[in-house]
Amino acid sequence: MENIEIETNAETMDNSVIFHVIKDVMGFILYMHQQIPSVFQDIGLEFDALKDEYHELEMDLAQAESNASVRRKHMGKIREVKGKIRRLEKLMYTVSGLESALKLIISEIPSLESFILVVGASPIRPQHVYELCFSRGKSILRDAIDFTKTKAAEGLSRKAIRALIAKGVGSDSYPGSTKLFLLVKAPSSFTLPPHFLPKRGFRYSKKITPVRLQLKCKSQNLKMDIPDSACQTSSSINLGDSTSNEFIWFQCRQVVKGLAFATPTEE
């Protein structure tokens, strides 16, 4: 197990911070493993720009002269832009669905601390495994969860990504499309069928050495060493405990499939 300890100056980590850290780390992992051409934020901007360009081209075509060559040129550009939109559309839809599912489970179970991101053909046959373990710090009562990204979330995400870069994440990747799976450890009594499936016996190959991010709050009253039970590996799940308080892994139904994107010289 490769453990990476990351500390925030905040005394607590709320659900919004945890959501944004997972989202940013997920986007970084996909990018570093050559599954997306850029990070989520840049892809979102590109997608919006392509849609705007498509609508402008349609308007230009409607106002274009009857000259056949001019219209052919416009139609060719429209087809090109439409192809790029279709290429990104499924990815944007899947990522949006995964984010919605993650927000739902975080809202339903505010004590979640353990998450796994698996890169590979399937969760049990991964190429890479990343565990994210959050030690929340002091408990603070808040109103309804606001998932707006805060400076605290931005700072913690940057620390997590810098730590992954230092570990050489993505350096041994190879071209080719694969998938990313999200698993969350939650009480076995949890039910959210449209979004998560229980994986009580989940285990991945012992040949894989997972990278574990341990994200902690800086607080005098917080024990800095996370116990093993807080973020267990798949091989340490106690399958004999069938009580409703047993924590098991749940797999998100939304699976992000990488794009087989071309380099600029290949387009």
Instruction: Between 1 and 42, name the one with better pLDDT.
Output: 42
Q: What is the per-residue pLDDT across 91-130, written as a single tens digit (0 to 9) for each? A: 999 999 999 999 999 998 888 999 999 999 999 989 999 9
CA distance 43 to 1: 32
pTM above 0.85, yes or no: no
Count of residues in the chain: 267
For the packed helices 15-32 and 40-63, what is the interaxial angle rounded to 10 degrees?
Answer: 70
Provide the mean pLDDT of the chain. 82
Q: What percent of the chain has pLDDT over 70?
A: 82
Judged against a pLDDT cut of 50, whether residue 158 lies above it is answered with yes
Of 128, 132, 138, which is closest to residue 157 (Cα–Cα)? 132
C-alpha 127, offset from chain centre = 16
Structure-block tokens of residue 32: 């570093």
What is the enclosing helix (H) or strand (E) of 60?
A: helix 40-63
Asked whether the beta carbons of 133 and 226 are under 8 A apart, the reply is: yes
Would you say residue 222 has pLDDT above 50? no
Strand partners, 119: 128, 180
**Pairing of β 2-8 and β 211-217:** parallel
Tell me the per-residue pLDDT of 49-84, one tens digit each, with 9 for 90 and over.
999 998 988 887 777 666 777 778 878 888 999 988
pLDDT number for residue 179: 94
Chain mean position to CA 66: 48
What integer pLDDT is reported at residue 207 of this predicted model? Answer: 87
pLDDT, one tens digit per residue, over 122-140 is 999 899 999 999 987 765 5
